[in-house]
Structure 1
Amino acid sequence: MSVRWSTIFPNKPTLTEKNLPDQSGKVFLIPGASGGLSKEIASILYQKNGKIYMAARSRSKTNDPIDSSTGNMIFLSLVLDDLTTIKASASEFLAQESRLDVLYNNAGVMVPPQGSKTVQGYELQIGVNNLAPFLFTNMDYHEEGIWSKYSRSKAGNVLHAVEYARRTIGEGIISIALNPGNFVTNLQQNMPRMQLAVFKIISHAPKNGAYTQLFASHSPTVTEKDNGCWVSPFGKVEPARKDLLDTVLSKQYWEWAEEQINKYK
């Protein structure tokens, strides 16, 4: 698993809760909002009066108290390890809203026990980190090493962002892949002890990961010209790996993913 220097020595956040404008009237959908970085970005947007759909498996985990504001927070059931449940979640959202300003596809799992599978039998990280969000997004829009599997699932996210950007040129939709940074959250619960000890040394406060997402979704410097771009911690546009910007590869991966999810639409 390669590590960029920008992950260890991240850019200083340029957009935080201190300078984010009021978000009244805007709608945000945040899968995985019951914990980790998703919960951090949900808290910031909520305090700025945004309407937040917290998509998670369990309602109880989304009910932690958040500082009072005029924001609106709504639970949306979303089970990412079972593709048969995704359509109902997307339909529930579409039945309630006629607009969506930002979809943060950042829910996921990391290095689960070897052999972990989704209900449909996909390797857990490919299924949860990639195929389920891909299906969810498309609903809205109309034994190798465990680290290799995780890296492949995240590379798939970049390929989908690149291809989604290509397919929505001129439609006012901006598709961005990002690396929020290194943080210790519940995502690392299955990480080997020695790896976790090293990881903690190069980790930062989780809220900084929310700043990376905030930059990607709200920075006035990110426009349609950056469609399909890569954002590094904690808010900087920079080139992604060249192989992940290959339009032929991104098209092939998109088409493969479509074959996997079509029966669940």
Structure 2
Amino acid sequence: MHIDWTEQDIPDQHGRVAIVTGGNAGLGFHAARMLAERGATVVLAVRDPRKGEAAAALISGDVSVQALDLTSLDSIRSAAEELRSTHSRIDLLINNAGVMYTPRRTTEDGFELQFGTNHLGHFALTGLLLDRMLPVPGSRIVTVSSTGHRIRAAIHFDDLNWERSYSRVAAYGQAKLANLMFTYELQRRLAPLGTTIAVAAHPGISNTELLRHTPSVVRRPVTWLAPLLTQAPEKGALPTVRAAADPSVLGGQYYGPGNRSETRGYPRVVASSPESYDLATQRRLWSASEELTGVTFPFDR
């Protein structure tokens, strides 16, 4: 095993079924590609199946496409039903898809777009697929967060959907903080069962299309300084892939790039913000997420 964890360190994935949301582009595409090239059966769960098929054609291995719109609970339920009918077991669920710094919009179900897509959509999908994972020893749920979980981030229980006022930066921070709190609370609930673990990851600052909604005051400097500040998407995907594939990973860990600022570098275990570890807030967010989505998890029924 190399000191710096790279693609070459991904162990054989034959026999594993991996679902990657947003697997048609950017970080998700490279995570899917790496897993497929090591032998995993990979499903690209994507909003636009045509883009998914185009991406699948670029990957060597067993890759298929599943339509999934995380902004629609109906679509999530339909996709989960199709995935459950197609796969008797799921080894990896990589909750990767997301939106960043969007103007204020809502999902089909009326949720603020960033919170609804990045957190609630993945919460619902995970809950609906989990019974295909619980019987599988070594199965993992990997949820992709961001260093943005530290920026103006809090869980606004009095206005989760930003109906009173809206800040695209603070809304993104809430969504990415929710990703981490979901992971930590999910791991706590999974731990007594002993088969499935929940892990989080973040890509640092990667040069992907996710930056397209970034305010110009931020985007321009990032563009100018991109060679110094960002890393290629395939490098940014490594923390996610390590969280998904490294045999040494433990439930509840958080992986990110290894340099001091966690902006770039090889993946390692990192720490999230103090707020993310608050147990009472994690449990309250879980209850709110159940209420908003109508999804309960197998171990809670």
Q: CA deviation at 1:137?
A: 0.3
CA distance in 2, matches of 1:130, 1:122: 10
Q: Secondary structure at the match of 2:191?
A: coil
Which residue identity does 1:259 align to in structure 2? E
Instruction: Could you tell me which runs of 5 or more consecutive residues in structure 2 were left unpaired when the two chains were aligned.
Output: 132-164, 258-265
Aligned equivalents of 1:41 and 1:222: distance in 2? 17
Q: Structure 2 residue aligned with 1:218, among 245, 255, 265?
A: 245
After TM superposition, give the deviation of residue 199 of structure 1 in Å. 2.5
Structure 1 runs not aligned, ≥5 long:
1-11
Matched with 2:81 is 91
TM superposition shift of 1:80: 0.9
RMSD across aligned positions (CA): 1.9
Once the two structures are superposed, residues 174-215 of structure 1 have per-residue CA deviations (whole angstroms, 9 ceiling, x without a partner) of: 111222111121211122233112234211111111111111
Higher RCO (CA-CA < 8 Å; seq separation 6+): 1
Is residue 229 of structure 2 the alignment partner of residue 240 of structure 1?
A: no
> 1:40-59 to 2 correspondence within 5 Å?
40-59=30-49
Q: Distance in 1 between matches of 2:196 and 2:81?
A: 20
Displacement of 1:100 in angstroms is 1.3
TM-score, normalization by structure 1: 0.88
**Does 1:164 find its partner at 2:154?**
no
Structure 2 residue identity aligned to 1:149: A
2:63 is aligned with what amino acid? M
CA distance in 1, matches of 2:292, 2:213: 27
- Report the 3-state secondary structure (helix = DSSP H, G, I; strand = E; otherwise coil) of the residue aligned with 1:231: strand
For 2:113 and 2:222, the matched residues in 1 are separated by 22
CA distance in 2, matches of 1:243, 1:191: 24
Map of 2:24 onto structure 1: 34
Question: Cα–Cα, structure 1 residues 228 and 21, in superposed 2: closer, same or farther, change >3 Å?
Answer: closer
Provide TM-score, normalisation by structure 2.
0.78
- Cα distance in 2 for partners of 1:241, 1:122 equals 25
Q: Which residue of 1 aligns with 2:290?
A: 258
Does the residue aligned with 2:4 lie in a helix, a strand or coil? Answer: coil
Identity %: 29
Task: Letter of the 1:136 partner, please give it.
Answer: L
Question: 2:58 aligned with 1:66, yes or no?
Answer: yes
SS at match of 1:18: helix
Q: Conserved in 2, the CA contact under 8 Å of 1:105 and 1:133?
A: yes
Aligned to 1:5: none
